[in-house]
């Protein structure tokens, strides 16, 4: 125990020295907090991992096929699998991306898929993150520091090496890069951004150049990196860590001070890969989530290996009836919100509150999804020198370049409040390393 | 009967600017009923620009002028002709509200009271009611003003009148879209509305309280004004005042 506490304290100390922080904007104010590390790793056996890996690859392949279809022929709508309302009323759908074909036809280059391990032993997908899933640097750094403060840990355990993440990224960035003799860039909003550490860390590890918008300029259909002394280098891939609405002030939010004017022109011409592709928000919309298992069947003609948490769509009259009659057993989610916000656990609500939710659903059925609470497993964490049990999820990182690969690690996030199911870092949770045990 | 248009815009900057990136929508859109016979555009100082289509099929020209300059001008002219409107497939995106065209409960109430027995009458009546409500007041709004704000303040310009009408139409279940373009007799660009019923789009200019016919040259359409801006630009240089002059003429030949 003492050894674990020492290990935890050194990791947290190192992370704070590196400036590893987590921040979020909510209601116009910026909150920054540390994202505390817990030294007891989540362990996943090689056998279980193999199943997860297959299921994750299948899911991300289906989501990529969906994005290609939805900004192209829209066959899934024409074939009646997905009602058009869910696409066209979503804020994640960007009409500007219609008929654009991204280099190598990859849309969701880096997917962060959130899962939980239910008490019934099954894994359930909670959310797909296909825009800018962050956080992969946390377990990487935690592992690096743990390895240096306690090398013996890794002599006594057969843990899969996780240091290949940068290589996966680099291979992908190179693969989608459409220009000869060009560089890869990581576009950051700047050093005051809370994820700046992650941006600079990945730049260093992948050999990409870390750039802010003022370092980049579009000229005659090519994006250039403006080096010191005015040396211009063509850029073929931008791993951008700024969201779609700020990417190009000529097309999206015209007030954006962190975007690159005309970058969408170069992208539309096919002379630039944007990682991830703009417009992906349509595929990780909470309403669209319901349809992902159907996408697996539709695009791949396979049965889904990984299941969604049981979900109901009040949009469908039968589901609406069920949801309204069983509200107190359900979690209601606002499809427009993210990061653990807009999630209502109806079990704890007064009759009055339940009536309010009831009316909201009747008024705007498309805006909500309802789920049974998945009772997921607790994991041990150390708190006040004792081992206690807390709810935890897993974010798996799936990288798609020439093929789809799952990183043999992941970010395990836990809730610090006993019994709470909300593990998002924006809600004050902590994280653990994730060990995939070889030959176990 | 063909129509000829001439468009010129000139931005004068109080100081030199550089790395000027621009995106223009200035040439007529080819549609089921509007046909571009010819058109040409000159952007002095820009030796190459890209001619693309945005997500709604509007022509966009975008390019950059890197060297320092005080003036940015665009000249475009051409000829369009019209045919009978053919049937067109509805892009369902025009059924849904956007941030600028949200239909509040008060607006929905207003729209429902103007509803008639068929869509054609509803559109005409609603356009007239919106025009009655909103007093045409240049300078009272800006390009980020929502339909809700214009509705509550009861004032605005053609953009706001179109936004309010679009929000109300979508609210009562009629698909609608925003149009920007050039109109005979107006030297500045104009905005109007199209409503979808009986299998095709019908133009209505609520600001001028008339249906759209020859002499209305459509440049762009989209969900709201933000999809149809005629001129967007981003440049470097500090504390710069931009003076924009636009001159448009539309004539029958």
What's the pLDDT tens digit per position in A77-106? 999 999 999 999 888 999 999 989 999 999
A84, A230, A251, best to mutate vs chain B, most B CBs in 10 Å: A251
Q: How far is A165 from chain B (nearest CA, A)?
A: 35
Select the CATH number that applies to the domain covering B3-83+230-252 from these four: 1.10.10.10, 2.60.40.2250, 1.10.3480.10, 2.40.50.100.
Answer: 2.60.40.2250
Residue B141: what pLDDT? Answer: 93
Q: Decide if A331 is inside a domain.
A: yes
Check residue A27 and give its pLDDT: 53
DSSP per position, B57-109: S-EEEEEEE-S-EEEEEEEEEEEEEE-PPPP----GGGGS--GGG---HHHHH
Spatial CA neighbour of A261 closest among A272, A275, A247, A273: A247
Comparing alpha-carbon positions, the chain B residue that sits nearest to A97 is B55
Q: What is the rounded average pLDDT for all residues in chain A?
A: 91
Closest partner CB to B232 (pick from A96, A217, A250): A250
Average pLDDT over residues A225-246: 93
Which residues in chain B are closer than 8 Å to A93, comparing Cβ atoms?
93
Confidence bin at A195 (pLDDT 50/70/90) = confident
- The answer to which of A357-366, B108-117, B129-138 has the lowest mean pLDDT is A357-366
Please judge whether B55 and A94 are an interchain contact, meaning their C-beta atoms are less than 8 angstroms apart. Answer: yes
Name the residue in chain B with its Cα closest to that of A262: B21
Q: Is residue A246 in some structural domain?
A: no
Task: Note which residues in 17-56 of chain B have CB less than 8 A from chain A.
Answer: 19, 21-23, 48, 50, 52, 54-56
Domain(s) of CATH 2.60.40.2250: residues in chain B:
3-83+230-252
Mean pLDDT in residue range A334-338? 74
CB contact (8 A) between residue B223 and residue A254: no
Residues of chain A contacting B, Cβ within 8 Å: 84-85, 87-89, 93-99, 217-221, 249-251, 254, 261-262, 265, 268-269
Average confidence (pLDDT) over A228-249: 93
Residues on chain A touching B54 (C-beta within 8 angstroms) = 96
Please report the pLDDT score of residue B238 as a whole number.
72
Domain that holds residue A328: 310-372
The percentage of residues in chain B with a pLDDT greater than 70, rounded to a whole number, is: 100
Which pLDDT score is estimated for A348? 81
* Alpha-carbon gap, residue B68 to B17, rounded angstroms: 5
On chain A, the residues whose CB falls within 8 A of the CB of B93 are 88, 93, 95
In chain B, residues under CATH classification 3.10.620.30 are 92-227
Percent of chain A surpassing pLDDT 90: 70
Distance between alpha carbon A5 and the CA centroid of its chain, in Å?
30
Q: For the segment A344-401, what is each residue's pLDDT rounded down to a tens digit?
A: 888 888 999 999 999 999 988 988 999 988 888 999 999 888 999 999 999 999 999 9
Strand, helix or coil for residue A120 = coil
The answer to whether A95 contacts B222, with C-beta atoms less than 8 Å apart, is: yes
Among the partner-chain residues A95, A217, A269, the one whose CB lies closest to the CB of B93 is A95
Query: What is chain A's percent helix, strand, coil content, to nearest 5?
Result: 35, 25, 35
CATH number of the domain where residue A324 is located = 3.30.1490.270
Question: Is B252 a residue whose pLDDT tops 90?
Answer: yes
In this structure, the strands spanning B34-42 and B135-136 are unpaired
Across chain B, mean pLDDT equals: 95
Asked if the C-beta of B221 comes within 8 angstroms of chain A's C-beta atoms, the answer is: no
**Residues of chain A with pLDDT > 70: what percent?**
93
Write down the CATH number for the domain with range B92-227.
3.10.620.30
Checking if the pLDDT of B145 tops 60, the result is yes
Q: Which of A93, A94, A261 sits opposite B21 (nearest CB)?
A: A261
Q: How close A272 comes to chain B (CA, Å)?
A: 15
Report yes or no on A385 lying in a domain: no
The answer to whether the Cα torsion of B207, B210, B213, B214 is positive or negative is negative
Q: What would the mean pLDDT of A281-310 be, rounded to a whole number?
A: 96
Chain segment A18-56, per-residue pLDDT in tens: 767 665 555 555 566 678 899 999 999 999 999 999 999
Among chain B residues, the shortest Cα distance to A95 is held by: B55
Distance CA(A61)–CA(A214), nearest Å, equals 35
Number of domains in chain A: 1
Mutation target vs A (from B234, B235, B236, B238; most A CBs, 10 A cutoff): B234
**pLDDT at residue A323 tops 70:** yes
**Residues A140-157: tens digit of each pLDDT:** 999 998 888 888 888 878
User: Per the structure block, which two tokens stand in for B238?
Assistant: 């500090």
């Amino acid at each position: 125990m003492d050894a674990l506490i020492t290990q935890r304290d050194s990791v947290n100390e190192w992370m704070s020295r590196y400036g590893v922080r987590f921040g979020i904007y909510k209601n116009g104010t910026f909150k920054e907090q540390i994202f505390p590390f817990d030294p007891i790793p989540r362990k996943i056996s090689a056998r279980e991992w193999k199943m997860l890996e297959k299921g994750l690859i299948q899911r991300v392949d289906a989501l990529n096929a969906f994005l290609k279809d939805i900004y192209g022929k829209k066959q899934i709508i024409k074939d009646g699998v997905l009602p058009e309302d869910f696409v066209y009323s979503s804020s994640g759908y960007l009409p500007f991306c219609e008929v654009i074909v991204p280099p190598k036809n990859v849309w969701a280059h880096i997917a962060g898929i959130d899962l939980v391990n239910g008490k019934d032993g099954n894994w359930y997908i909670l959310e797909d993150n296909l825009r800018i899933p962050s956080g992969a640097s946390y377990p990487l750094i935690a592992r690096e520091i743990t390895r240096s403060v306690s090398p013996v840990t890794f002599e006594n355990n057969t843990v899969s090496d996780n240091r290949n993440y940068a290589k996966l990224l680099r291979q992908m960035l190179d693969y989608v890069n459409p220009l000869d003799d060009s560089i890869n860039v990581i576009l950051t909003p700047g050093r005051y951004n809370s994820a700046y550490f992650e941006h600079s860390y990945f730049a260093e590890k992948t050999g990409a150049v870390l750039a802010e918008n003022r370092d980049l300029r579009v000229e005659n259909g090519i994006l250039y990196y403006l080096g010191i002394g005015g040396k211009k280098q063509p850029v073929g891939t931008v791993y951008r860590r700024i969201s779609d609405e700020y990417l190009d002030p000529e097309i999206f939010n015209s007030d954006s001070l962190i975007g690159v004017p005309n970058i969408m022109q170069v992208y539309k011409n096919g002379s630039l890969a944007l990682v991830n592709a703009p417009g992906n928000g349509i595929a990780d919309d909470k309403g669209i989530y319901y349809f992902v298992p159907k996408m697996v069947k539709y695009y791949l003609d396979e049965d889904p290996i990984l299941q969604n948490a049981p979900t109901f769509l009040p949009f469908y009259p039968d589901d609406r009836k069920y949801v309204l009659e069983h509200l107190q057993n359900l979690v209601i989610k606002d499809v427009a919100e993210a990061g653990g916000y807009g999630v209502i656990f109806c079990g704890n609500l007064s009759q009055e509150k339940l009536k309010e939710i009831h009316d909201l659903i009747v008024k705007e059925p498309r805006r909500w999804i309802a789920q049974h609470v998945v009772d997921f497993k607790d994991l041990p964490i150390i708190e006040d020198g004792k081992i206690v049990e807390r709810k935890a999820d897993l974010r798996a990182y799936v990288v798609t370049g020439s093929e789809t690969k799952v990183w043999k690690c992941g970010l395990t996030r836990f809730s610090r409040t006993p019994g709470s199911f909300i593990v998002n870092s924006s809600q004050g949770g902590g994280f653990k390393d994730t060990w995939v045990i070889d030959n176990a | 009967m063909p129509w000829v248009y001439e468009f010129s815009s000139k931005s004068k900057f109080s100081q030199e600017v550089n790395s000027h990136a621009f995106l223009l929508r200035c040439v007529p859109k080819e549609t089921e009923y509007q046909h571009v016979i010819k058109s040409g555009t000159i952007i002095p100082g820009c030796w190459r620009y890209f001619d693309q289509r945005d997500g709604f099929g509007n022509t966009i020209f975008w390019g950059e002028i890197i060297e320092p300059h005080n003036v940015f001008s665009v000249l475009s002219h051409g000829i369009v002709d019209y045919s009978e409107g053919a049937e067109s497939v509805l892009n369902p995106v025009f059924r849904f509200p956007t941030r600028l065209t949200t239909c509040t409960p008060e607006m929905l109430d207003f729209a429902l009271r103007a509803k008639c027995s068929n869509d054609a009458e509803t559109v005409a009546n609603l356009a007239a009611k919106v025009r009655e409500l909103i007093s045409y007041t240049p300078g009272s709004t800006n390009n980020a003003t929502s339909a809700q704000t214009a509705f509550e303040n009861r004032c605005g310009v053609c953009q706001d009148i179109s936004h309010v009408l679009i929000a109300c139409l979508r609210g009562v279940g009629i698909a609608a879209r925003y149009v920007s373009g050039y109109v005979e007799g107006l030297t500045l660009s104009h905005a109007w509305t199209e409503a979808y019923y009986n299998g095709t789009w019908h133009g209505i200019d609520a600001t001028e309280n008339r249906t759209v016919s020859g002499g209305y040259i459509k440049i762009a359409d989209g969900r709201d004004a933000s999809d149809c801006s005629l001129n967007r630009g981003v440049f470097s240089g500090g504390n710069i005042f931009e003076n924009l002059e636009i001159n448009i003429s539309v004539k029958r030949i």
